[in-house]
Copies of this chain bind each other. A is one copy, B any other.
Amino acid sequence: MLARSQAESNQLTDANENSRFLPGVSFPSGLRVSSDISQVITSSDLIIIAVPSNSFRSNVSLIKPFLSKGIPVLSATKGLEIGSNKRMSEILLDELHDELHECVCVLSGPNLAKEIIAGSPASAVVASEYPDSAEAAQDILTSATFRAYVSRDVVGVELAGALKNVIALGAGFCDGLAIGDNAKGAFITRGLAEMSRLGVALGAQPVTFAGLAGIGDIIATCSSSLSRNHYVGEQLAMGRTLAQISAHMDNVAEGVNTTKAAYALSKYMNVEMPIVSVTYNVLFEGLLPKDAVSRLMERPVGFEQ
C-alpha cells in the first residue's frame, strides 16, 4: 500500500491499521506499507487506484513514471472529474503513455467496504477495452468470497458506478421523508432509466446498467445504512444543510461532486435527467427535498418508456 509520506507510512505500519477510516481492523499479514513510489509500483502485479475522484489525476501523475506494460492499472474510484466531467479511465488515458493504455481497467459493483472486510460474499465487474488486462485483474481479485466478472463496457461500468451515487442521494431523500418503499422503488427505477439514457448517449451498453455495476450497486447502496451518499440525502431531507452535514464527515460523499458533473453532462448531451436535475437543485440551489420529490411526482404520466 502506497502511503503519501514517510510519516504516514510509519504511522500506518506502527498502528497496523488505518486508524482514520477503519479503526479496529488490523491489516492482513501480507500487507506492506511504503511511501517509496518506485518500490511499491514496480513490485506490484496489479495497481489499484482507490482515491477520491478529485485527487485521482494528481495521484496518477505521481505513479505514472513507474508503471510498465503487462501490469493492469485498475481504477476503483466511483466518480467523475469536476470541470472536465471525465471518467477515471479517461484521466488514465490522458495521463499515461500510449503503450500503457492497454493496462487500463475499471472496477465497479456492490462493494460496501465494511462488508468485504468482514468477509461477507461480494461480487463486482472488471472492465477493460483489453480482455487480457481485465482477466489478469480478475485472476488476482477473485477469492473464496469475492467474485469478479469481466466486461468490455468500460464506459457503462464507470458511469453506473459514478451515477448510482446521485441516485443514492435521492433515495436518501425518500427515506428521510419516510414516503415509503413503493415510492423508493419507483424512484430508483426512474433513476436507473436516466443513468442508462445518459450512458447510452455516451457509448455504454444498456445491459451494463441492468448488471452488478448498475442495479446491483444501487440496491446495495440504497438499502444500506453504510452508504455515505444515502446518509447525505437522508440528512438533507431531515432539514440539515449540505455545509452542516459535510462538516461532520471525514470522507467526501462522491455523489455531491458527481451530481455537478452529471448535471453538466446531461445538459451537454441533451439527455433528460429529472432526478439528477432536482438533486442538483437541492444540493446547490436550495430546493427542499420534499419539493424535489413532489416535482418528480407531478411529471405527466403516459407510456412507461
Contacts and interface: CB of A to CB of B under 8 A. Distances in A.
Instruction: Count chain B CB atoms within 10 A of each CB in A109, A216, A224 and give the residue with the most.
Output: A216
Given A193-B210, A215-B192, A183 B122 contact: yes
A226 B180 CA distance: 11
A163 to B, nearest CB: 15
> What is the oligomeric copy number?
2
Interface residues of A, number: 57
A111 interface: yes
A223 to B, nearest CB: 5
Instruction: Count chain B CB atoms within 10 A of each CB in A110, A188, A219 and give the residue with the most.
Output: A219
Contact of A179 (B121, B148, B182, B303): B121
Interface stretch (A31-39, A95-103, A112-120): A112-120
A217 interface: yes
A132 B255 CA distance: 42
Contacts of A182: 110-112, 115-116, 120-123, 220
B189 A212 contact: yes
A290 to B, nearest CB: 11
Contact of A180 (B121, B211, B221, B304): B121
Contacts of A46: none
Which 7 A-B pairs rank lowest in CB-CB distance, beginning with the nearest? A185-B220, A110-B185, A120-B180, A122-B182, A189-B216, A185-B219, A149-B304
30 contacts: A109-B186, A110-B189, A111-B182, A112-B182, A121-B297, A123-B186, A147-B186, A149-B303, A149-B304, A150-B304, A151-B303, A184-B223, A185-B215, A185-B221, A186-B212, A186-B216, A186-B220, A188-B215, A189-B210, A189-B211, A192-B215, A193-B210, A193-B211, A196-B210, A207-B305, A208-B304, A210-B210, A212-B304, A219-B222, A222-B223
